[in-house]
Amino acid sequence: MALDPLIADFLAKLPLVGGPAVSLDALRTAGEVQLRLLHGPLESIADVRTHGVLSSDGHSIRIRAYTPVTSNSAPLPAIVFAHGGGWFRCSLDLYDNPCRALAHATGCVVLSVDYRLAPENKFPVPLHDYYTALCWAASHADELGIDCTRLVVGGDSSGANLAAAATLRARDDVRGPAIAHQLLLYPPLDSAMSSTSYHEFATGYFLTRSTMEFCWTAYLNDKADGDSPWASPLRAASLANLPSATILVCEYDPLRDEGEAYARRLGEAGVATECHRLDGMVHACIHMLGVTPGAHRLFALAGSSLKRSLNLAAHA
């Protein structure tokens, strides 16, 4: 379908940010300011609290827990969520309202992970931090009031890359946490950036090809890192024996085709997978509830898909 007219209007007024003279701090600040302007009203939920867990190198990782309003006294399913931002920007605070909306839509406790950012902390440090948080959530389920049999990995954009990679790692780790489902929102999955959508939507649709080139350069130590399935999950030799998946991609997004390719490969490997294309949407629409009613579809689809999958998991 056509680009959402409200998003088209937003894009037409969008100031250009970038260029060789712009510092990393300026890029980070501009990105946060830009995205905050897109958020809708703050959503009410039952509880928000922050936890801390130590990484293997002694770094303290913050994990912010968002508990939805519910009449159910039983432990709730949980999403261990990694925020987007090209691995180099965005924060727990920026994702406060998206995480509230996600908790409300899915009925899950959302555990938002404050992983360390590139380029100060390159691959695989952000992945290690996210995986540490995932393992901690699984082992502290009683304390958190969550159901360890319905633990979901999730994220948007670069955060979805971390979630997909952590799922592969958990599968291959003999002591890895049990994951019930993966929720991947417009994920970058291959550093090659060779899909048709990368050419079709290279400029003019919020996320650009050149921005993704910068993101991958910031994240990876060198080009060889991109060969690792922990960096480029689409290059994994096998996707068998992974948990069920929900993948949402945006119609006008350079990353669209690789998300759909990953869904196809998961299905071919025998993994129950739902893939939905968000018609008329652009990258980062998790932030756009204040721009267009169309952004609500991301949360509606995530909620309905997770509820189906986690209900099946609960009765397996």
Q: State yes or no: is 158 an active-site residue.
A: no
Three-state SS annotation for the chain: CCCCHHHHHHHHCCCCCCCCCCCHHHHHHHHHHHHHCCCCCCCCCCEEEEEEEECCCCCEEEEEEEECCCCCCCCEEEEEEECCCCCCCCCCCCCHHHHHHHHHHHCCEEEEECCCCCCCCCCCHHHHHHHHHHHHHHHCHHHHCEEEEEEEEEEECHHHHHHHHHHHHHHHCCCCCCCCEEEEECCCCCCCCCCHHHHHCCCCCCCCHHHHHHHHHHHCCCHHHHHCCCCCHHHCCCCCCCCEEEEEEEEECCCHHHHHHHHHHHHHCCCCEEEEEEEEEECCHHHCCCCCHHHHHHHHHHHHHHHHHHHHHHCC
Q: Tell me which long-range contacts 294-301 makes (C-beta under 8 A, separation of at least 24).
A: 294/4, 294/6, 294/7, 298/185, 298/248, 299/101, 299/102, 299/104, 299/105, 299/106, 300/105, 301/246, 301/248, 301/276
Q: Active-site residue among 104, 128, 181, 283?
A: 283
CA angle 289, 255, 36 (to 5 degrees): 30
Q: State yes or no: is 253 an active-site residue.
A: yes
Q: Active-site residue among 39, 96, 157, 232?
A: 157
Q: Active-site residue among 191, 253, 257, 287?
A: 253
Q: State yes or no: is 157 an active-site residue.
A: yes
Active site (catalytic) residues: 157, 253, 283
